[in-house]
């Protein structure tokens, strides 16, 4: 089959690799019909997440048709399914608590040794996301072996387009959980850093959950425009004094809740951001956390901090004092996708959520490398890239 | 054996480091090891009376002539079923690396364990204490290549969270070349290997399979 492989920093290529097979009883094989590039993939592309090996197949946002099932799979051949990026067994303590991204049993034992010293506990398995999370071959490919196929994949009714449901695999539940983690109360002002796909879905979700005001922050005019169309107020951080503006736009309180949908590669021109970027560039294992620092200063006393943005290592100059002295609550994590898919599918069917507005480009899988490059360097126009295996070159 | 089982075995091709845990778990009961046993299990240590951590988590790793390791894991599965599965030693190679063959003759069990450079290590163990649903203890007999003993304990986890399984292994480095080899392995990564075996056991019991990132049954 053809698959997008990581070869090194800023070097991804579509190559021919062996087709996957059923290996464990609960597996299914999916023939991919749509797969997307995620902001998380950019962290891999930029080489800031450890534990990738050259030749690894990337991709964790995918859907397709079931073509083969193991004896313990509950799927049937021919069904259309969206597959959560989190691989979860459905039986362990964490899965029973619906903390699917903390599953104990999905990361192969030998791979758990990598993250255990780093984080104190082993991570669960994720598709196409480095060997820290299992080294599972990902979904930017023609076929994928899906473990625990009786628990993860959600069956899609006929008549719904791929584009409408594809993002159930990750960014839609991620934006939703980000808003849920913000614990929104009536009258709240919620500020969202980053108007990438995750930030945009967080904006939409916060509004659905009843936030009185949502303020979206970025510097790409088109991305800000998408947020404005959803109903958010927007701030271009290159033009505005952020902390002052956020105070003024929230009645002098500061936002009740803040959402960091930027993650470890935050841009910025403040001294802390520049020093982070230098450390990242020289490979000191430091995450760039400018947006998060700003969010911690902006949020009101006793407010909530929700962090869907991904961090992998350590940060410097973290305003721990602000966290403690202001009595903040922090909630974060890889998304517990399986917890949300059913409810969100219904909301899509009911027309409550728009899931297609951010798709800017659809490319054949063969052109995936071009998709990565543009999603990375032309962020303003390239807001979300969907890849289609099996289609011819454009 | 279906292909899943074969695959499991294939996945457990020998890798340096885990022989000892397998050995320990494979190994059965004498008075000799009793001293470490008591100490490793004692809740309040003599040398650190204010601390209720188990002895096996002590900074030192030697108890008399024995090296000791142990690990606890909670498994979301009924205690009796876990006990029954483990008690049938024929099942253990399904989740233990290196155990090539298990032959049960009454109280005695013979284990063939894949050693370095294609060499097999033979251990014979005798069950020293088996309490239904609670614990299995074993000790190696004199004919064994290695002097080891261990036990695995099962107790109900709080609030219906399943079963806490604790495995404890002690091992006395023998002399000679084999001994040096084993000692070096054991001192390097005993806890790591114990952890791996128990995690595989947990996976198998909770999910019915052992996670792998391989997407082909056979090497491509
Ligand atoms: N928690 C999860 O399970 C999960 C799932 C998916 C993605 N993520 C993470 O969410 C984050 C966003 O993902 P995405 O797909 O939207 O990525 P993206 O790269 O498309 O978007 C990030 C946006 O942040 C903006 N930005 C950068 N620095 C900023 C700053 N200082 N202030 C405000 N905006 C800033 C960028 O201009 C960009 O528009 C990433 O870290 C990604 O890894 C997490
Ligand atoms: Zn993603
Ligand atoms: Zn689980």
Mean pLDDT, rounded, for A222-245: 97
Specify the higher pLDDT residue, A288 or A4.
A4
Distance from CA of B17 to the nearest CA of A (A): 12
- For the four alpha carbons of A225, A227, A228 and A234, in that order, the dihedral sign comes to negative
* ipTM of model: 0.92
Residue B175 banded pLDDT, cuts 50, 70, 90: low
Q: Measured from the CA of A217, which atom of ligand 1 is nearest?
A: 33
Domain assignments of chain B as residue spans, ordered by start? 3-40, 55-207
- Give me the percent of chain A exceeding a pLDDT of 70: 94
Q: pLDDT-derived band of residue A167, with 50, 70 and 90 as boundaries?
A: very high
Fold for the domain defined by B55-207: Alpha-D-Glucose-1,6-Bisphosphate; Chain A, domain 4 (3.30.530)
Closest residue of chain A to B157, computed from CA coordinates: A93
Residue A326 φ/ψ, nearest 5 degrees:
-90, -5
**Angle CA A289–A266–A357, to nearest 5:** 130
Where do the domains of chain A lie?
A: 2-170+335-388, 172-332
Residues, CB within 5 angstroms of ligand 2 (ion): A 38, 40, 170
Measure in Å the smallest separation between the Cα of B96 and chain A Cα atoms. 12
Could you tell me if the CB of A84 is within 6 A of ligand 1? no
B161 neighbourhood in chain A, CB within 8 Å: 93
How many Cα atoms sit within 13 Å of A123 on the Cβ side?
A: 23
Ligand 3 centroid – CA A20 distance (Å) = 23
Cα(B147)–Cα(B67) distance, rounded to whole angstroms?
11
B contacts of A134 (beta carbons < 8 Å): 211, 213
CB pairs under 8 A between A and B: 85
Which pLDDT value is given to residue A267? 73
We find that the CATH architecture of domain A2-170+335-388 is: Alpha-Beta Complex (3.90)
**Percentages helix, strand, coil for chain A, rounded to the nearest 5?**
30, 25, 45
Q: Per residue in A83-118, pLDDT tens?
A: 999 999 999 999 999 999 999 999 999 899 888 888
B208, B211, B216 ranked by CB distance to A108: nearest: B211
- Chain B neighbors of A21, CB-CB under 8 A: 215-217
Yes or no, beta carbons of B220 and A18 under 8 Å apart: yes
What are the pLDDT digits (tens) for B139-163? 999 998 888 899 999 999 999 999 9
Q: Please state which of the ranges A264-278, B102-116, B165-179, B201-215 shows the lowest mean pLDDT.
A: A264-278
- Considering the segment(s) A172-332 as one domain, its CATH architecture is 3-Layer(aba) Sandwich (3.40)
- State pLDDT tens for residues B20-79: 444 443 332 233 344 444 445 543 344 555 677 777 777 665 666 676 778 899 999 999
Q: How far apart are alpha carbons B123 and B108 in whole angstroms? A: 10
Scanning B155-214 for CB atoms below 8 A from A yields 161-162, 192, 196, 199-200, 202-203, 206-214
Residue to test with chain B: of A1, A108, A122, A151, most B Cβ within 10 A:
A108
What is the average pLDDT score of chain B?
75
């Amino acid at each position: 089959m053809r698959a997008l492989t990581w070869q090194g920093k800023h070097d991804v290529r579509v190559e021919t690799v062996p087709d996957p097979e059923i290996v464990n009883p609960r597996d299914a094989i999916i023939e991919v019909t749509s797969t997307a590039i995620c902001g998380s993939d950019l962290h891999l592309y930029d080489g800031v997440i450890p534990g990738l090996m050259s030749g690894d197949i990337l991709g964790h946002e995918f859907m397709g048709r079931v073509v083969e099932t193991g004896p313990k799979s509950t799927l049937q051949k021919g069904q259309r399914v969206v597959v959560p990026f989190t691989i979860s067994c459905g039986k362990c303590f964490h899965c029973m608590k619906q903390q699917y991204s903390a599953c104990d049993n999905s990361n192969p034992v030998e791979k758990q040794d990598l993250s255990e010293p780093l984080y104190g506990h082993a991570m669960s398995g994720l598709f196409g996301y480095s060997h820290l999370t299992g080294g599972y071959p990902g979904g930017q490919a023609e076929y994928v072996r899906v473990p625990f196929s009786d628990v993860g994949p959600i069956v899609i009714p006929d008549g719904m387009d791929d584009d409408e449901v594809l993002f159930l695999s990750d960014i839609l539940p991620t934006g939703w959980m980000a808003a849920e983690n913000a614990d929104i109360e009536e009258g709240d002002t919620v500020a969202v850093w980053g108007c990438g796909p995750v930030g945009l879905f967080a904006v939409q979700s916060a509004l659905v959950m009843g936030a009185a005001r949502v303020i979206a922050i970025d510097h790409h005019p088109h991305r800000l425009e998408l947020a404005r169309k959803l109903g958010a107020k927007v701030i271009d951080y290159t033009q505005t004094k952020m902390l002052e503006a956020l105070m003024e736009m929230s009645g002098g309180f500061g936002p009740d809740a803040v959402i960091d949908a930027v993650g470890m590669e935050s841009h910025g021109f403040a001294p802390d951001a520049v020093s982070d970027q230098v450390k990242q560039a020289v490979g000191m294992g430091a995450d760039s956390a400018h947006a998060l620092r700003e969010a911690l200063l902006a949020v009101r006393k006793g407010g909530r901090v929700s962090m869907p943005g991904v961090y992998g290592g350590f940060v410097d100059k973290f305003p721990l004092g602000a966290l403690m002295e202001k009595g903040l609550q922090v909630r974060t994590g890889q998304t517990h996708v399986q917890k949300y898919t059913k409810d969100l599918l219904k909301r899509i069917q009911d027309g409550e959520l728009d899931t297609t507005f951010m798709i800017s480009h659809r490319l054949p899988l063969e052109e995936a490398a071009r998709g990565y490059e543009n999603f990375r360097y032309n962020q303003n126009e390239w807001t979300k890239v969907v890849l289609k295996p099996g289609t011819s070159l454009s | 054996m279906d292909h899943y089982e074969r695959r499991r075995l294939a996945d457990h091709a020998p890798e340096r480091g885990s022989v000892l845990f397998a050995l320990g778990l494979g190994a059965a009961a004498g008075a000799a090891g009793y001293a470490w046993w008591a100490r490793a299990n004692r809740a309040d240590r003599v040398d650190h009376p204010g601390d209720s951590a188990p002895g096996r988590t002590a900074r030192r790793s030697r108890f008399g002539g024995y090296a000791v390791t142990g690990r606890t894991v909670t498994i979301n599965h009924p205690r009796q079923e876990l006990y029954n599965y483990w008690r049938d030693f024929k099942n253990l190679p399904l989740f233990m690396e290196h155990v090539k063959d298990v032959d049960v003759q009454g109280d005695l069990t013979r284990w063939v364990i894949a050693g370095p450079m294609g060499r097999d290590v033979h251990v014979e163990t005798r069950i020293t204490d088996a309490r239904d649903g609670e614990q299995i203890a074993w000790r190696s007999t004199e004919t064994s290549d290695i002097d080891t003993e261990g036990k695995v304990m099962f107790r109900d986890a709080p609030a219906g969270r399943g079963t806490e399984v604790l495995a404890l292994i002690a091992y006395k480095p023998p002399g000679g070349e084999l001994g040096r080899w084993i000692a070096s392995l054991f001192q390097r990564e005993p806890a790591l290997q114990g952890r791996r075996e128990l995690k595989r056991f947990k996976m198998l019991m909770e999910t019915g399979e052992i996670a792998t990132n391989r997407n082909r049954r056979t090497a491509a």
